[in-house]
Structure 1
Amino acid sequence: MRQLLLIILLLPFTSPAQSFLVKNVNIVTLSAENPILSNQSILVENGKIQSIGSNLEVEADSIIEGAGKYVLPGLAEMHSHIPNAENGDFSFLEDVMWLYLANGVTTIRGMIGHPSHLELKERIKSGQMMGPRIFAAGPSLNGNSVESPQHGRQLVHEQAEAGYDHLKIHPGLSMEKFIAIAETAKEKNIMIGGHVPLDVGLENVILNGFHSVEHLDGYLEAMLPHEDYKNSEKAGPFSMNFSQDADLSKLPELVKLTRENNVAVAPTMTLFEHFFGYLPASELKERAEIKYLPKDQIVKWAEQKQRLEDDGILAEEKVKPFLSLRDQILMELYEADVLILLSSDSPQVFNVPGFATHREIKSMKNAGMKAVDILKSGSKNVAQYFNQDTFGEIVVGKDADFLIVRDNPLEKLETLEELEGLFVGGNYIDRERIQSELDRIEEKNK
C-alpha cells in the first residue's frame, strides 16, 4: 500500500480555490547553506504557498500526508516545440501537456511559435485545460521568413503586439537583418534567442541582445581557424565534422563573453545524442516512452535519422568527438556560472515530452554537473531568466508549483521519474491521475 495518503475531492482536477495541507515532507531548498528542511508542512491556498513550518496546525480542505517524502520545485522544459492546434483541435496538445505534467514539468518555453500557442497559454491560465505555465516564442525568424531588415522590424512589432513572450532566431539571417531584429526587440522589450546564424556569429548575437543561445550553437564555429563551416556539405550538422579542428584556447574568452553579458545557455544535450548521435534509429524507436506518441510521428523521426545514418553522417568516429566537445563546452560554461537552462528540445526526434527532460538530466549529470545545479537549471534559473519572482522555489508567497517524490533528489535524481504527486497552477494531481492520463494516451496511440 502506498504510504502517500490522499484526501481529495473526486473532481477531474482539484480547484485552485481549495486549500491543501501537505504534511510531513522534506523540502529541497536548492540552497547550499541548508539544502533540506526536514519534517515540514506546507499550506497551499488559492494557488499560493501560504505557510511553511514544522508544526503547522491549520484547517484545510484537503490533507496530503507526505510520510517523509521530498518536495522540490517543478521542472521546466526550456526548449519545447509545442505542436500546433489544427482547425481548433487541441486534443493532441492536451496529450502533450499531460506528458509534460506526468514527468514533473510545470513550465515550458515554446521555441517555435504559432497563434494557437497563445490560445493554449490562455486556456491553461484560465483553468480550461491542465498544463504547465507557458512562455511562448513567436514564429521563426530566419533567412526565409525575414525578407529584409525592415520586414524583420515589422515582424518583431507584430509578435510583440500579439502577446508572444520571446523571439526565436533560426539560421539564415544576414547581419543586417539580425541587427534590425535585435534593435527592435530591445525597443519592444521582448526577449530574443535561438540559433546563431552563420553570417552573424556567436560574438555578435551575444553583444547585440541575445538572452539565450540554444543547442550550444555557435561555440564550435567561433573556435574554428577557418570558415568552412559555412559549407553545410563539408561541415555536417552543427559543424560536427570540424569538432577536432576547434582551437580550445579560444573557449575561455567565449565563456567569459557569455557570462559578462548575462546570456543564458539551453544546451539540449539529449537532442544531439538522439538526433545526431550514433545510437541507431532502430534502437531509439523501441524505447518505452515512444508508446505515448502517434506512430506516424515515430516513423517520420526514424526516417529523418535513417537518412543521416545512410549518408554516413552519424558514424561513431565522427560523432563521439563532437559529443565530447559539447560536454566540454557545457562544463566550462557551467563552471563559469553561466545561467544554464534545462532543455531537451521536445517533441523532437525521439525526444518524447517530459520523458526527454529526464534524459537531459542524465546527460547533464554525465557531463559533470552537480545534482543541485541541474535542479536549479529547471527551476530557480528559469525564474531568473524570465525575471519572475512567482515560481522556482518553495517559499511562502510563491505559486504552488512543486513536486512530491519518494527519495532525496540531491542524492538520487532518478526519483524524479516516479512522481508521487505534483502541484501546478494551484491544482493537485496525484499519482493515480498521472497514471490514468498516461494509460489513456498510450491506448490512444496503439
Structure 2
Amino acid sequence: MSLLRLFSTFFCVAFLGAGAQALPAIDVETVVRNVNVITWDGQRARVQPQQSIAIRDGNIVAVGDNVAGSEAAKVIDGNGGYVMAGFTEMHGHVPAAVSFGGMPERYADDMLYLYIANGVTTVRGMLGYTDQLQLKRDIAAGTRMGPTLVLAGPSFNDRTVTSPEQAAERVREHVAEGWDLLKIHPGLQLDEYRAVAAAAREAGIDFAGHVPLEVGIDVAMAEGQRTIDHLDGYLRYVGAIDRPVTGAELSQLVSMTVESNTTVVATQALWATLIGAGDARQLAAYPEILLVPQPVRDGWLEYYPRQGSSYFNADTAAIQQENRQRLLKALYEGGATIIFGTDAPQLFSVPGFSIHHEIRSMQDAGIPLEAIYYTATAAASDYFAESHDLKIGHVAPGYQADFILLKDNPLESAAALEQPRGVMVRGQWLDRATIDARLEEIKAAYAAPPHTQP
C-alpha cells in the first residue's frame, strides 16, 4: 500500500470513529432508547431504525441514533420495538368532571384512562358538558390522567337555538366560556345555521359536526364548516339512503369536498352499529364492554332488540353501509382530507378500544393501513396546526411526547396496536403492567353483582 493510500485510510477511520461518538449528554428527564421510530415524509411512512428519544417537560427535545441523557435521566429500553405517534380521536365524547346521569363519580377518570391505555393521546371532544372544561385544565396541569383535550361546547340544535339572533349570541357565549370549537347537531334551520357560521367566522372559532337536514353539505362547505363528521349528510344530499349510490354521485361528492377543502371524519364502525348494519352477537362479544358501567353495557346489549334510534333502519342498513364504505374509499382516492374518529363512547364503541374496530372498517373500505395511520397522526397534526397551538401527531423535536411503543411493526399489521408495550402521554410513561393493572381495576369496579350477571 502506498504511503498516500495508507494516510487516507487512517484519516477516514479516524474521522468515522469520531463521528460515531455520542453527543454530549442532554439534560432531560427521560430517554427512550433502542427503538424504531415511524416518521412521515409527506404521506409516506418511514421507519428510522435504532433511535433514541429524549424528553423534557413533556416534550420531545431530540430524536436520533446518538442521543444520550444525563445520569439523572430515566432510561426506558424499547428492546427494538416500534414507536408511533399517539392517535388523535377527532370525534370523541368526554364525560363531565362531575357525576351525572347516575354514572359513578369515577366514570370520567376511567373513560379518559381507556383512551390513553390504547395510545389515544389527544381527543377532540364533540359535545360539551358541565365542568368538562375543568377536566381539560386538570389534565393540562398534570393533576388528572388523560389525553390532551380539545373541546366543543354544548351543541347547537333545535332545542338550544331559537332564532338566528340567539344563535349568534350563543356563539359569543361559547367563546367567552373558553370552548375550543362549536358542535353542530341536526335540527338547525338554514337561517340559524348561517347565523352560527357568520358569528363563528367573526369570532375566529371552528364549527364542526353534523350537517342539519335543512342545510345540506353544499351550504356547510360554502359556509366553512371545518369538518363534516359521519357521512349521512353526504348520502342525504344525493338521496342515496335506500338505494346504491352511483359513480357519478360519488364523483360529485368528492369534487365538492376537495374543492371546498372540507375535512371528513367518517366514524364508520360506530355508524354501522347505529344504523343496524352491525352483527349483534359479535358486538356483544367485545371483551372491552366489561370496562363500562353495567347500565351503559345493558343499554348497548338491548339496542338491537329495541331498535331504539331514529337512525336505525333494518331494511336499508346494508345499503347505507355499503354506500358509506364506497364513499369513504372514493374520498380517499380523490385526495380529500380525512381525519380519524370513532365516536366513542357510544354503542359498543369503548374509548380507545374503538380505534381497532375503526381501523378494520377503514381497511374493509379499501384504505391502506399506512394511510389510516396518517389520518390518526400527521393529518390531525395539520388540522390543529391551523387553528390551535398544539404540537401533536409526530415523533420529532418540538412536539408533545405522546407516542405508543409497540413490539411489532404496525405498518405490517394493525394487530401490533392491540397490546402496546407502553404509552407515553405528555412525557408520562405507562408501561404494560401499569396499564393492565388499571384495566383490571376498572373492570372489577364495573362488574355486575353475581345475581345479575348476563
Residues 349 and 420 (structure 1 numbering): CA distance in 2 closer, same or farther, change over 3 Å? same
CA displacement at 1:260 relative to structure 2: 2.0
Residues 169 and 309 (structure 1 numbering): CA distance in 2 closer, same or farther, change over 3 Å? closer
1:104 corresponds in structure 2 to 119
2:221 is aligned, of 188, 193, 206, to 206
- 1:66 and 2:65 aligned: no
Aligned to 2:316, the other structure's residue is in SS state helix
Aligned to 1:67, the other structure's residue is in SS state strand
Aligned to 1:275, the other structure's residue is in SS state helix
Equivalent positions of 1:265-284 (< 5 A) are: 265-284=264-283
2:138 corresponds in structure 1 to 123
Unaligned runs of 5+ in 2: 1-26, 448-454
Residues 144 and 63 (structure 1 numbering): CA distance in 2 closer, same or farther, change over 3 Å? same
1:386 partner amino acid: F
- 1:410 and 2:411 aligned: yes
2:319 is aligned, of 321, 328, 336, to 321
Cα shift readout 1:214-252 (whole Å, capped 9, x = no counterpart):
11131111212xxxxxxxxxxxxxx74x233x4441322
- 1:178 and 2:174 aligned: no
Aligned to 1:30, the other structure's residue is in SS state strand
1:76 corresponds in structure 2 to 88
2:62 is aligned, of 43, 51, 73, to 51
1:363 corresponds in structure 2 to 361
Aligned partners of 1:301 and 1:84: how far apart in 2?
A: 20
Aligned to 1:115, the other structure's residue is in SS state coil
2:410 partner amino acid: P
1:426 corresponds in structure 2 to 427
Unaligned runs of 5+ in 1: 1-16, 225-238
- 1:40 and 2:41 aligned: no
CA displacement at 1:397 relative to structure 2: 1.4
CA displacement at 1:87 relative to structure 2: 5.2
2:443 corresponds in structure 1 to 442
Equivalent positions of 1:8-407 (< 5 A) are: 19-31=29-41, 35-59=46-70, 60-86=72-98, 91-224=106-239, 240=241, 242-244=242-244, 246-308=245-307, 314-315=313-314, 318-387=316-385, 388=389, 390-407=391-408
Which 4+ stretches in 1 moved above 6 angstroms?
Answer: 309-312
Aligned partners of 1:103 and 1:37: how far apart in 2?
A: 23
CA displacement at 1:389 relative to structure 2: 5.7
Question: Is the Cα–Cα contact under 8 Å of residues 268 and 343 in structure 1 kept in the other structure?
Answer: yes
Aligned partners of 1:401 and 1:73: how far apart in 2?
A: 6
Question: Is the Cα–Cα contact under 8 Å of residues 285 and 298 in structure 1 kept in the other structure?
Answer: no
2:452 corresponds in structure 1 to none
Point out the structure with max Rg over C-alpha.
2
Residues 413 and 282 (structure 1 numbering): CA distance in 2 closer, same or farther, change over 3 Å? closer
Aligned partners of 1:56 and 1:174: how far apart in 2?
A: 57
- Identity, % of aligned pairs? 36
1:40 partner amino acid: Q
CA displacement at 1:115 relative to structure 2: 3.1
Cα shift readout 1:321-362 (whole Å, capped 9, x = no counterpart):
211110111111111222211111111011111111111011
CA displacement at 1:24 relative to structure 2: 0.9
TM-score, with structure 1 as normaliser: 0.88
Cα shift readout 1:56-103 (whole Å, capped 9, x = no counterpart):
233252111111100010001111121223359852100001100111
Question: Is the Cα–Cα contact under 8 Å of residues 31 and 68 in structure 2 kept in the other structure?
Answer: no
Residues 279 and 87 (structure 1 numbering): CA distance in 2 closer, same or farther, change over 3 Å? closer
Aligned partners of 2:250 and 2:220: how far apart in 1?
A: 16
Question: Is the Cα–Cα contact under 8 Å of residues 394 and 402 in structure 1 kept in the other structure?
Answer: yes
1:38 partner amino acid: P
Question: Is the Cα–Cα contact under 8 Å of residues 109 and 136 in structure 1 kept in the other structure?
Answer: yes
Aligned to 1:154, the other structure's residue is in SS state helix
Aligned partners of 1:294 and 1:115: how far apart in 2?
A: 20
Aligned partners of 2:215 and 2:247: how far apart in 1?
A: 21
2:7 corresponds in structure 1 to none
CA displacement at 1:19 relative to structure 2: 1.0
1:439 partner amino acid: E
Aligned partners of 1:313 and 1:401: how far apart in 2?
A: 37
2:299 partner amino acid: K
Aligned partners of 1:220 and 1:34: how far apart in 2?
A: 32
Residues 346 and 310 (structure 1 numbering): CA distance in 2 closer, same or farther, change over 3 Å? closer
1:425 partner amino acid: R
TM-score, with structure 2 as normaliser: 0.87
Aligned partners of 2:105 and 2:198: how far apart in 1?
A: 35
Aligned partners of 2:195 and 2:118: how far apart in 1?
A: 39
